[in-house]
């Protein structure tokens, strides 16, 4: 449930679901997100511009010429959230090539974690991940939780350009760079699968909050042969 509601500036509501980051808290966030999206679409709540779910927060930005913080706070607090109404969450499989030209940070990780590349990959692939949120750049999924033995902090100096398709880990999270972008994640491989397709207007983001994701390793040969 929402622990605290405050204003983020004069045109957004900041819903705080508590300081912990786990699947239960995040499912709660996504539940509110789904309900509010539904209400906004049906015109039951007016003036909402955007809803941004994250690990443990939901930001509701609105048109200040239509509504205001106190009105929306009241509506959100009185929402009758039926926990049983859950969206169907997808299970998605992502191929990853971890050859040295794609796995850019194994030297760093070997050193930090005291594990070999094979050991890191075994722990990484042997896991189903939960999508907490998407964002920062279009369609980028924030997945968790990474095995405790392979958790590492960000690069001290972020890369100016991380190649599109790069698969990275930081702390308890894994992600995929949907576009070439600056970034500081430890890159362990690259996927040939398109995670964000702007040509798919109805559903451009392959992975959405609440979805389950597994990765599997492919050879360079399969990487180039990959066809969706």
Positions in the binding site for another protein (CB under 8 A): 6-12, 14, 19, 21, 33, 37, 40, 49-59, 61, 64-65, 68-69, 133-140, 142, 178-179, 196, 198, 201, 204-205, 208-209
Distance CA(53)–CA(135), nearest Å, equals 9
Q: How far is the CB of 4 from another protein (least distance, A)?
A: 10
Q: Which is nearer to another protein, 6 or 219 (CB)?
A: 6
Q: Which is nearer to another protein, 101 or 153 (CB)?
A: 153
Q: How far is the CB of 67 from another protein (least distance, A)?
A: 11
Q: How far is the CB of 138 from another protein (least distance, A)?
A: 4
Joined tokens for residue 110? 């070997």
Q: Which is nearer to another protein, 89 or 217 (CB)?
A: 89
Q: Which is nearer to another protein, 70 or 85 (CB)?
A: 70
Q: Which is nearer to another protein, 54 or 190 (CB)?
A: 54
Count of other CB atoms within 10 angstroms of residue 70: 10
The CA-based angle 51-57-61, given to 5 degrees, is 30
Q: Which is nearer to another protein, 55 or 102 (CB)?
A: 55
Q: Determine contact, residues 51/12, Cβ cutoff 8 Å.
A: no
DSSP 22-70: SHHHHHHHHHHHHHHHHHHHTTSS--EEEEEE-SSEEEEEE-TTT--HH
Q: How far is the CB of 187 from another protein (least distance, A)?
A: 18
Q: How far is the CB of 148 from another protein (least distance, A)?
A: 18
Distance CA(99)–CA(62), nearest Å, equals 46
Q: CB neighbours of 210 closer than 8 A, spacing ≥ 6?
A: 27, 30, 87, 89, 130, 131
Q: How far is the CB of 99 from another protein (least distance, A)?
A: 28
3-state secondary structure of 111: helix
């Amino acid at each position: 449930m929402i622990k605290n509601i405050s204003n983020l500036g004069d045109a957004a509501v900041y819903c705080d679901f508590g300081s912990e980051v786990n699947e239960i808290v995040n499912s709660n966030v996504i539940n509110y997100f789904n309900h509010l999206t539904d209400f906004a679409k049906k015109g039951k709540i007016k003036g909402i511009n955007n809803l941004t779910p994250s690990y443990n927060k939901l930001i509701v930005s609105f048109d200040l010429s239509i509504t205001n913080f106190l009105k929306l706070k009241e509506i959100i607090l009185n929402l009758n959230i039926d926990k049983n109404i859950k969206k169907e969450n997808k299970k998605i499989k992502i191929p990853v090539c971890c050859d040295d030209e794609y796995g850019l940070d194994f030297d760093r990780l070997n050193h930090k974690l005291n594990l070999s590349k094979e050991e890191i990959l075994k722990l990484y692939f042997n896991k189903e991940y939960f999508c907490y949120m998407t964002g920062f750049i279009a369609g980028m999924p924030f997945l968790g939780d990474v095995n405790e033995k392979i958790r590492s902090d960000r690069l001290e100096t972020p890369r100016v350009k991380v190649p599109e398709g790069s698969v990275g880990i930081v702390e308890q999270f894994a992600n995929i760079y949907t576009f070439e972008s600056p970034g500081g994640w430890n890159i362990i491989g690259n996927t040939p699968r398109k995670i964000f397709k702007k040509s798919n207007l109805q559903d451009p983001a392959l992975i959405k909050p609440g979805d389950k994701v597994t990765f599997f390793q492919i050879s360079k040969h399969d990487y180039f042969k990959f066809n969706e």
